[in-house]
Amino acid sequence: MHKDIKLFAGNATMKLAEEISEHLQVPIADMVVKRFSDAETFVKINENVRGHDAFVIQSTCTPVNDNLMELLLIIDALKRSSAARITAVIPYYGYARQDRKTQPRVPISSKLVADLITVAGTHRILTIDLHAGQIQGFFNIPVDHLYAEPVIAKYVKEKYSLDNLTVVSPDAGGVERARAFAGRLNCPLAIIDKRRDEANICSVMNVIGNVIGKDVILFDDLIDTAGTITQGARLLKEHGARNVYAACTHPVLSGPAIERLNESVIEELIVTNTIPLNSEIKKCPKIHSLSIAYLIGEAIRSIHEETSISILFV
């Protein structure tokens, strides 16, 4: 057994790290992360970590490259300080959408990022709702892949009547994810058939399944510019849906996302705090954020005690 847990919080997800710290009753370790005048990142660990079980909590969200570099440098500092085991806790794994070559002469960015994190000195990965599950295979180290689905489902069960609720996948690629969510709620499933012409631009085509008179909830892993989700919501209304809600794990919400949400027929968007919401996003009355601190905290406890994390999937 390694020595005590050491929690390290990157700047990207400081509030989430504080919630995890409170849940585990483990303080956040003393560390300095700052920028030089030329914008280079400097990291210094201010306490002994030799032989300890270190967990670095950092989403690689906006600004993606800065947060990724910060994560790599923290891991390198811990490795050079003789931490016994380093687990990178990455609630939101950036670059996950570039998981294969879809055009000639383009990189597979999620594989490159996996290599960088591994080479930096990471022994284990803990992450939530990867955009593509096969990204786990890009790592040659253990990956604990958790799902925020139970957290979101609990909220939906408490707030909405399930008798008239239908879960909708916003595209064919998300059917497996939406089907699992629908199964957890014991609700029927519908699918939106769409064609994506280019990144962040899609053309919604049709609805597969009955949504007439139904309350529907669009379920996806992430929402970026909100084009897909808001077009899908409008299409569902046109096909007779009564109330339209949406839910996702990762609220990327870039570019025109908030404007689109405010103007959309979506009544509520349920998200988690894998990505912190900025002040502009927090002003949107349609967004409700749920904390996944308990989920990550219990996973960290299980990893440290070397017990099964399968109970977290129930």
pLDDT 10s digits, 10-36: 999 999 999 999 999 999 999 999 999
Give the pLDDT of residue 203.
58
Would you say 202 and 194 are in contact if contact means Cβ atoms under 8 Å apart? yes
Q: Can you read off the two tokens belonging to residue 234?
A: 């409008």
Q: What is the dihedral of CA 123, 126, 132, 134, to 10 degrees?
A: 40
- pLDDT classification of 195: cutoffs 50, 70, 90: low
Q: What is the dihedral of CA 300, 303, 307, 312, to 10 degrees?
A: 40
Q: Can you read off the two tokens belonging to residue 34?
A: 């700052």
- pLDDT classification of 201: cutoffs 50, 70, 90: low
Would you say 314 and 300 are in contact if contact means Cβ atoms under 8 Å apart? no
Give the residue from 176, 189, 178 showing the smallest Cα distance to 133: 176
Say whether 299 sits in a helix, a strand or coil: helix
One-letter identity of residue 292? I
- pLDDT classification of 202: cutoffs 50, 70, 90: low
Averaged pLDDT, 100-111 = 94
Say whether 239 sits in a helix, a strand or coil: coil
Structure pTM?
0.94
Catalytic positions are 194
